[in-house]
Structures are given as C-alpha cells and as structure tokens.
Amino acid sequence: MASVITEQEKLIGKGIKRKEDPRLITGTATYVDDMQLPGMHHACIVRSPYAAANIKSIDIKAALETPGVVAVYTGAAVKDVGPVPCGASLPGLRVPHHHILAQDRVYFVGHPVAVVVATDRYIARDGADLVEVDYDVLPAVADPEKALADGAPAVHPQWPDNVAFNFHQENGEVEKVFAEAEVVVKQRITSQRLIPSSMETRAVLAEYRSGEKALTIYSSSQIPHLLRTLVAGMLGVPEHKLRVVVPEVGGGFGSKLNVYAEEALMGWIAMKTGKPVKWIESRRENFLTTIHGRGHVDYYEIAAKKDGTITGIRLKLIQDLGAYHQLLTPAIPTLSVLMMPGLYRCQTICADIVGVFTNCVPTDAYRGAGRPEATHGIERMVDMLAAELKMDAAELRLKNFIQPGEFPFASATGLTYDSGDYAKPLKKALDIVNYMGLREQQRKARAEGRWMGIGMSTYGEICAFGPSPATPAGGWESASVRIEPSGKITVHTGVSPHGQGEETTFSQIVADELGVDFNDVVVLHGDTAIVQYGIGTFGSRGTAVGGTALYFALQELKAKIKRFGAMLLDTDSVVYEEGRCACRKTGNSVSLAEIAGASYRAMKLPPGTEPGMMATYFWEPPNFTFPFGAHIVVTEVDKETGVVTIQRYVAVDDCGKILNPLIVAGQVHGGVAQGIGQSLYEHGIYDDNGQLLTGEFMDYAIPKITMMPWIESEHTETPSPVNPLGVKGVGEAGTIGCSPAVVNSVVDALSPLGVRHLDMPLSPEKIWKVLQGGQA
C-alpha cells in the first residue's frame, strides 16, 4: 500500500494504512481501564440471579464491615435518579420505569440490585459477595411467543399481556393481491438472539470536582454527546457541568449505542462520595447485561405470479424486547419493516409488529439493527419462492429488481432509494463463481453422494442515519476544521469512531481538499469538552454523514483561505491548489502555513473577514443512503457429522464511492464474520426460567479465525447522490448480506432431502438431525 505519499497524489480511493493501528497493535492506546485517577475507588455491582423475583430485603451489613469497602448503595438510595432512557417513540408504547438499581422487584437475570464501592476492585467484588438479598421468586417467561400465550407470567404486572406495542404498516391492496395470487409461499423464520461480544466490555469512570461542581464521565461509548445530554438529565446535573470523554473503544457493534444504568450510577456515586469511581464490566456481566441483538420470530408470506413476479409480501414480526426498553429497543424492528421489500419492485406490503416483554436482558441495535433480520427474511422467502416455481434463484431476483432507470425509487415502505444498479453486483458475483459451471459441479457432487450447496443473497441497506425527522435525536453531523498558525490541521468530528478508521479517512479527505500532507492532520473526537455537539457513530453514518460535514467545513475554510491568499498576494483572483494560493497573472503564490500564520497575526484582514482559520459545519442529510450488493456462498455439508464447510465466499458490495479500500475490506470481513457467526454458530439461549445458558465463550460460539472462509471481496461503485462524497456506508453490509446467503446455500445443499428451510444457527447437531431424517 502507499507508504510514501506525495502532496500531489490524491489520497481518496487509496488503501492508506490506518493511522489508528500502530497504537492499537502495540498496546499503547488508552482505554477507560487504563486510566487511573488519584484516590479512585472501584465499584462492583450485585446482580439478580433470578429472572423474576420480589426483593424482600437486602442486608448490606457484612459488606459494609469489610475493610476497604467504602459504601454500599441499594435501589432506595438512587430512586430519585431519572430512568434509563428510551429514545424511541411509537404510538401507544408502554415504557416501564427503568431505575438504575432495582427497587422492589427484579426483571431479568443480571438486573442490578446493589453496588459496592471499595478501595480496590477485588475488595469491591468480595464486598458484593457479602450483600445478602432475600428474594421471593416469581414465575418468569423468556420466550416471546410463550409470553404472548394466555396465562403466561406477566413480566410487568401492570401489563399482563406482555405486549409493549403493536405497529402496523401497509401499502397497496394487500388482501386482493394475496387472494388473487397464483402462488403464495409461507414460512416461519427466526433470527435468534445474539450477544454482541465486543472485545472491550463496557467501562465507566466518573470523577466529580465539588469545587467546580463539575462531573466528568469517561465511558466506552459510541455516542458521547447524546450520553452527556441524557445522563445529565438522569442525574439532574446541568448539561454544561457534565463532560463525557470517550477514549479508545474496543468495539461496540451497536451495543454501546446506548445509555446504561451503570453510566449514571457511577456519576451518582462520584458525586455522593466525592471520589472518582471506576467500573469495568466483567465478561460474564457483558453476556448478561449488555444489550443483545436480533430476537425475531417472523411469519412471512410472499405472493407471486407464476412467471416469478413478486406481487405482495406479508409479515407478522414478533420482537423479543427483553424486560425493558434500552435507548432504541422498540425502534429496531421498525427498521426491519422499512427494509422488508429488499431490492424488489413489489409495492404491496403489510407488516404487523408485536413488541413483547420477556424476562431477559433488553435487545437493541446490533450490527445491522433490524436490517439483517429483514434481509434474512426476504432473501429466504425469495429462495423458497424460486424453489416453489422451479425457477433459478438468480433469475427470479433479476426479474424482480428495481431497474437502474427507476431511481430515485419510492419503496413500498415509504423510503426513497437513492441510486442503484442491483443486477450489477449479482452478475459480477455470478461471473466470479462461474455460476453455470458451479451448478454443473453440484450435479456431479450430488451424483457422488456429496451435499454441495450454492446460495446467494442480494441485499439492500438503509445507511447514513439519517434525516433528522426520521431519527430520535437528530441525524445530522458536525465537523470543525482548525488550521493552526503553523499550518497543521486539527479536525473535530461529532462522530465517535471506534474501529471505523475515520482518523484515516477524514485525514484523506482533508489532505485532498486542502492539498496538505496526510500526516499534518489530526482528527479528534469523543470529548464533549473539546468537540462541538455531534450525534455519534452507528448505522453506517460516520463517513457518509460525518465525512460530509467535514467536506462542507473544508469548503467554507477554503473560501476563507482564498480571501487571505488574495489579500497577501494583493490580487483579486487566486486559485488554491496543492496547499498554495496562487495568482495566475503574476505567478506569485503563498503557502497554507503562511496564510494561516497571517490569519492569526491579523496585521491585516480581508474585508469583512474574522481573524483565525477555523470553520464549523453541521450537515443535515436530505435522505438516507441505500447500499446494496450480492453475496454468493458455496458450502458442503458433511454427511457423517452435519458440519457445514464454506468453500467459497464471494461478496460484491456496492457502498457507493470507496474512500479507502483497505478500510472497506476490513468492514466487509468483520461484517461477514459476524454474519457467519449468526448463520452457523451463535445463539443466546435462555431457559424457561429466564436463565441465560450461554453465559461465556465456551457456550456462546463466536467464530474463531480458523472457522472463517477466505472472503473474495469485490465491489461495484454506484455513487450516492445524497452527499458530495458519493459514499453510502459499509459498516453493516457484510452482516446484512451474509446470513441469508449461507442459509440459502445449506438449504440448497440439502434440498434433495426435501429440506425447504432451516433456522439459524446451522449447528452440526441441527444438520445431523436433518440428515438422520428428523426435524431440525
């Protein structure tokens, strides 16, 4: 990759190595747990071992008597702290009051009941073991369909039906289309609960300076500014007296797009005790108490003509919400509904969501957030329709795609797809795998008694969240660019990169726009005291929305640079190229450093121009972006053991313009890894009593490197008209495209046995049972 960068060379589109990586791979980055403050205490949280129980009493005496234990707090102490916020609003949504510590009842295993503060982490843990909680155990329900049944235990006694909300959306003449359909295919499809499993668990450090009445919360978060606004509200701290700092974050995948009880709790303890307090989530706590993803039971129906034209899609979506709403819990399944037509022209849809309370940890955004579930559903249904019609799966897709001339395209669910050529990545992927040849190979394999499968998915995404009216807390993003007196450049971005590599891509944008050295740019983020308000990093928005804000800030700055340049060169008209302002007439020029220096010394100012060299831009996106792509997976199923081997994985993703192919490849690889995790291995399982049975990596199988196939990653580039960079976003593409392609491939492999559908994960045990003639 480019190791020597000359100023003239355009950096956008090049595979520049990430600026972030040296500190990450040498262990010199600073995470919350690396931070030590004088007099710092440590907190350990006492959590419920029961999924549903009344708290009869809590005895903290023995814990308090432990040498080194400073304080123990229970629900009563923090009952006036505001509830853990739910940012989503839906008509008729039932929102249980979510205290930061349980009051008189616990609702899921892991529910925080008390907190022990001590002089070191081990003493805090010992103290927590000495807190005696007397529970009166109640019946629990952990399965959303069981929770809807008559007589099921009520998660929240005030709502005996366990229904948090119903949501309905439809377009077109649904009843008529289904009544007149030549073919209707129906299937129940699940997207199982997943546990996000970021490498760094959650981590919070809070410090209160009583003299200044100022609270600082360091947290491993994706949304520093929203966290500040919401925690300030919970604690009753004026927002300008709360600073949130997000240092290095070891992964989030949506699980840190949230405001958690512990963030407010540590702030409250710091204020109460006057000492800094740190809480580092253990891995077991992470399994139990950080949000889970997915949790769908979907009932699909697809109507079509005999020629394969899809005429209608109907969906009943049962969303397992868990016991509470975290920040976006109820909104996630609505994204599935928005995405339900996929890339197909079909204008008749009907969706009903029922959001169900269960005695489990809440579900919320996890990589893809609602869109992997929707894509899995529609792409499985299209394959089943193809099987029913005895049509080729690729042919059926090509027949139903929205065509390139139809953009902007008004989808059945009310979205406006920005741009696309959906056949292009599919055809490219089919070419790469030599599809016809592969089918021939499959015939031979079957003749030899081997179960080989070919599966595809063609996915669409909603990315670059998003227009503010369509998001709970604003969907714009901010950037400020400051050229220092020496000509070095400091960027403040409102997004909060935690693995997406924007310190690199944003430096590329600045380097190209201002014609400066890539290494002369620093990108700062994640500290509310130094960065202007921003929304954060999620929903594949960092570069598409944050990068665009930066682009516009740079345009404003360039105009100012030119005004100073013209003044210094004593001319009316200058061009700005390669880091210099030049007068075409005289041939004289002046460097950016000279211009910057002059702007701060301000001996003379251009008319109507302020001193200094800084611009800030808040960009409101007019629309989402809609990336798309095609993944093809070749599998073979071991007849003896049921083990699925992925023999080829081809991903052709169109994420709009690619700023850095190395970073895009990393996003695709990571996304596919998590998609394969869901397809083959991962399943967060609760037993009937609400006990999490997959509470560690021995039981919850995330793919290891040896379980990953080689990923052949290719692209087509259809620029987005939504932003001047033409980028669409790629953070979630791999996850969204992956699972239906893998499952379609395995179902295809086993289709000679009459297999029509399999629910994830496709564990060897499940496949083995199918091979033995049983039911999956």
Catalog residues that contact other proteins under the rule CB under 8 A. Answer: 49-51, 109, 129, 284, 287-288, 687, 689, 691-696, 698-699
CB of residue 63 to other proteins, shortest distance in Å = 12
Strands, E assignment, 684-756: 711-715
In the sheet that holds 614-619, the strands lie side by side as: 521-524, 489-493, 477-483, 614-619
Report residue 197 as tokens: 């499993």
Q: Which is nearer to other proteins, 109 or 646 (CB)?
A: 109
CB of residue 118 to other proteins, shortest distance in Å = 16
Q: Which is nearer to other proteins, 52 or 88 (CB)?
A: 52
CB of residue 197 to other proteins, shortest distance in Å = 14
CB of residue 123 to other proteins, shortest distance in Å = 15
Q: Which is nearer to other proteins, 109 or 545 (CB)?
A: 109
Alpha helices in 473-530 (DSSP H): 502-514
Q: Which is nearer to other proteins, 104 or 699 (CB)?
A: 699
Q: Which is nearer to other proteins, 49 or 764 (CB)?
A: 49
Q: Which is nearer to other proteins, 52 or 544 (CB)?
A: 52
Name which of 595, 600, 621 is nearest 610 in CA terms.
600
What is the separation of C-alpha 529 from the centre of its chain, rounded to a whole number of angstroms? 25
Instruction: Reduce the DSSP state of residue 409 to 3 states and report it.
Output: strand
Q: Which is nearer to other proteins, 559 or 693 (CB)?
A: 693
DSSP 187-244: EEEEE--B----SS--EEEEEEETTTTEEEEEE--S-HHHHHHHHHHHHT--GGGEEE
φ and ψ at residue 108, rounded to 5 degrees: -160, 160
Residue whose token pair is 């996929």:
342
Q: Which is nearer to other proteins, 229 or 691 (CB)?
A: 691
CB of residue 99 to other proteins, shortest distance in Å = 21
Q: Which is nearer to other proteins, 50 or 617 (CB)?
A: 50
CB of residue 688 to other proteins, shortest distance in Å = 10
Q: Which is nearer to other proteins, 281 or 653 (CB)?
A: 281
Quick one: how many helices (H) and strands (E) in the chain? Answer: 19, 28
Instruction: Reduce the DSSP state of residue 148 to 3 states and report it.
Output: helix
Q: How far apart are CA 183 and CA 120, in angstroms?
A: 66
CB of residue 449 to other proteins, shortest distance in Å = 34
Contact (Cβ atoms closer than 8 angstroms) between residue 84 and residue 135: no
Q: How far apart are CA 196 and CA 427, in angstroms?
A: 33
CB of residue 765 to other proteins, shortest distance in Å = 13
Report residue 575 as tokens: 């061009």
Contact (Cβ atoms closer than 8 angstroms) between residue 367 and residue 251: no
Q: Give, as one character, the DSSP assignment of residue 543.
A: I
CB of residue 763 to other proteins, shortest distance in Å = 14
CB of residue 112 to other proteins, shortest distance in Å = 14
Q: Which is nearer to other proteins, 46 or 354 (CB)?
A: 46
Partners of 727 in the beta sheet? Answer: 656
Q: How far apart are CA 776 and CA 765, in angstroms?
A: 9
Pairing relationship of beta strands 105-106 and 53-59 according to DSSP bridges: antiparallel
CB of residue 121 to other proteins, shortest distance in Å = 16
Q: How far apart are CA 139 and CA 51, in angstroms?
A: 8
Q: Which is nearer to other proteins, 48 or 222 (CB)?
A: 48
Q: How far apart are CA 482 and CA 427, in angstroms?
A: 45
Q: Which is nearer to other proteins, 109 or 393 (CB)?
A: 109
Instruction: Reduce the DSSP state of residue 121 to 3 states and report it.
Output: helix
Q: Which is nearer to other proteins, 132 or 239 (CB)?
A: 132
Q: How far is CA 12 from CA 506, 510, 627, 629, 731, in A?
A: 10, 10, 19, 22, 18
CB of residue 61 to other proteins, shortest distance in Å = 16
CB of residue 269 to other proteins, shortest distance in Å = 22
CB of residue 284 to other proteins, shortest distance in Å = 6
Q: How far apart are CA 450 and CA 634, in angstroms?
A: 13
Determine how many CB atoms are found less than 10 A away from the CB of residue 236. Answer: 11
CB of residue 677 to other proteins, shortest distance in Å = 19
3-state secondary structure 643-687: CEEEEEEEEEEECECCCCHHHHHHHHHHHHHHHHHHHHHCCCCEC
CB of residue 290 to other proteins, shortest distance in Å = 14
CB of residue 138 to other proteins, shortest distance in Å = 13
Pairing relationship of beta strands 489-493 and 521-524 according to DSSP bridges: parallel
Q: How far apart are CA 159 and CA 88, in angstroms?
A: 19
Q: Which residues of 46-85 are buried (b: 16+ CB within 10 A; e: fewer)?
A: bbbebbbbebeebebeebeebeebbbbbbbebbeebbbbb
Q: Which is nearer to other proteins, 47 or 275 (CB)?
A: 47
Tell which phi-psi region holds residue 108, choosing left (phi > 0), alpha (psi between -120 and 50) or beta: beta
Q: Which is nearer to other proteins, 31 or 681 (CB)?
A: 681
Q: Which is nearer to other proteins, 290 or 442 (CB)?
A: 290
Q: Which is nearer to other proteins, 76 or 693 (CB)?
A: 693
Report residue 268 as tokens: 């409250």
Kindly state the helix (H) or strand (E) to which residue 329 belongs, with its residue range: none
Q: How far is CA 599 from CA 481, 567, 582, 610, in A?
A: 14, 11, 17, 8
Return all residues near 712 (Cβ < 8 A) that are at least 6 apart: 432, 648, 649, 650, 651
CB of residue 682 to other proteins, shortest distance in Å = 16
Q: How far apart are CA 115 and CA 125, in angstroms?
A: 10
